Chains A and B, each alone.
Chain A
Amino acid sequence: MTVKRDTAVALSFLLAFLVLSYAVVEKDVMGLSKNPLRPLGEFYLGHAFASGELTSHSPEVVTAIVWNYRGFDTLFETFVFFLAIMGTLSVLRLREGQERMVRDMERVEPHRHMDLIVRVITRLVLLMIIGISASIALHGHLTPGGGFQGGSAMAVASLLLFAVFSKFTLERRGLTLRHTLGAYAVGIAIILLTVYAPLALGGRFLQINLLPGELGLFDLDVGEYLAVSFGFLSVFLILGVSEWIFRRILRGEVR
């Protein structure tokens, strides 16, 4: 029954995709091919990487738009993410004594770990994901991608780590919430510095021309990469405590 339904869904998606692409590409339904480039698009393409007045020093137009032409929007998105992390911290973060209680209780909990094959392969894959996410982030000013995309890929690596090992694997190896929040703060600081520095140098807010040549938006990508990957990792570290442990500690709090 379900197999039939799945097949029907898959086939209808395929059909819809074929019909849509045929209509758009062959029959020119939406008039995309005859439509000339709009003035706004022309402006972005012409100015993103140029020597004129309104350039953003970035060969990658999408990054130029995201960080410069609509920079306020991105800045406030970063603040939204900041608020989400602060919210998690203020509601769920444990005091030092409670952290110790969690560690004691975790020792009692029967330890489940995945089998050898999963653990070995995951370690290799994790390192490769880290390399790829860094590549996405550090080439944000050259190719599609950027700090947020790289950070999201990194968050996948953290999730994989949490699923296969546990949050205590990280903490035993010396990476605690304090470190991840520190790295997150460094990322936010890089972003804020880049955004406010032009004011001190006699420019306007968000007038980001600090680095030479193609590197116009490089520092923002690095900052966002750090902020997103370590922001997610911090949240996962907080949420990674087993529910029964958390409940017991919260109940102790009430008493």
Chain B
Amino acid sequence: MKPFGRFSAGTFLLVFLTYIFYTGSATGYDVITGTLVALVVSLLVGRWVVEDDRKVFQPRRWLSAIIFFLRYFVVEETRTHVDVAKRVFTLRTRPGIVRIPLDVKSDYARVLVANSITNTPGTVVVDITDDGKYLYVHWIDVSSLDEGEIKRNVVSYFEDYAGRMFD
């Protein structure tokens, strides 16, 4: 048992920021107690959520995260919402479940891709294989059975950004 070997600055930051954000103020008392709480948590379960601390503090990962979320929530969400809204009125659907291979390596990247797919209207991740290499996605419009075509339509650029953020 080496408690300090398990300390993780990324975990510390996550807990500390959650604490301050939830408290809604940052007086001396809040900062001191927040630091204490975050220290205890990151010493106990530091390596549980952050495997490599260096990745947390690389600005280019955060930059690609910001670009991704802007592009995703402004462009992609609008496009797919309009698309599904059209299908509601025209009833032009070809529902089905497709299997999609994932190229990203880390757990967070895979989860980000899966949740981004689920969050866009028209596609829902039904299952992920135990090794995390394939997604099963329910798609409202199975327009093609070609693997590359499917990936372009459903995953599009999520995977590039997820890789840049987490791999």
Residues of A within 8 A of B (CB): 115-117, 120-121, 123-124, 127-128, 130-132, 134-136, 138-139, 173-174
Contact = CB atoms under 8 A, between A and B. Distances in A.
A52 to B, nearest CB: 24
Given A116-B128, A116-B132, A131 B18 contact: yes
**Which of B45, B110, B125 counts the most A-chain CB atoms under 10 A from its CB?**
B45
Contacts of B34: 131, 135
Nearest to A175: B44
Nearest to A142: B29
B74 interface: no
Contacts of A139: 23, 30
A130 B33 CA distance: 13
A127 B41 contact: yes
Given A128-B18, A130-B15, A135-B22, A116 B111 contact: yes
A87 to B, nearest CB: 29
B107 A131 contact: no
B111 A131 contact: no
11 contacts: A116-B111, A116-B128, A117-B114, A117-B128, A124-B49, A127-B48, A128-B14, A130-B41, A131-B14, A132-B18, A173-B45
A116 B107 contact: yes
B162 interface: no
B41 A117 contact: no
Given A127-B41, A127-B49, A120 B108 contact: yes
A131 B108 contact: no
Contacts, number: 66
Contacts of A117: 110-111, 114-115, 125, 128
Contacts of B114: 117
Contacts of B45: 127, 173
**Which of B19, B125, B128, B132 counts the most A-chain CB atoms under 10 A from its CB?**
B19
Summarize A's interface: helix, strand, loop or mixed. helix
B135 to A, nearest CB: 10
A132 B22 contact: yes
Nearest to A124: B49
Contacts of B108: 120
Contacts of A115: 127-128, 130
Given A127-B41, A131-B38, 18 more contacts: A115-B130, A117-B110, A117-B111, A117-B114, A117-B125, A120-B111, A121-B115, A124-B49, A127-B11, A127-B45, A130-B15, A130-B41, A131-B16, A132-B18, A132-B22, A135-B19, A135-B23, A136-B22
A116 B130 CA distance: 7
Nearest to B44: A175
Contact of A138 (B1, B15, B33, B48): B33
Contacts of A116: 107, 110-111, 128, 130, 132
B110 to A, nearest CB: 6
B100 interface: no
Interface in B132-167: 132
B108 to A, nearest CB: 6
A120 B107 contact: yes
Given A132-B22, A135-B19, A121 B111 contact: yes
A123 B18 contact: no
B65 interface: no
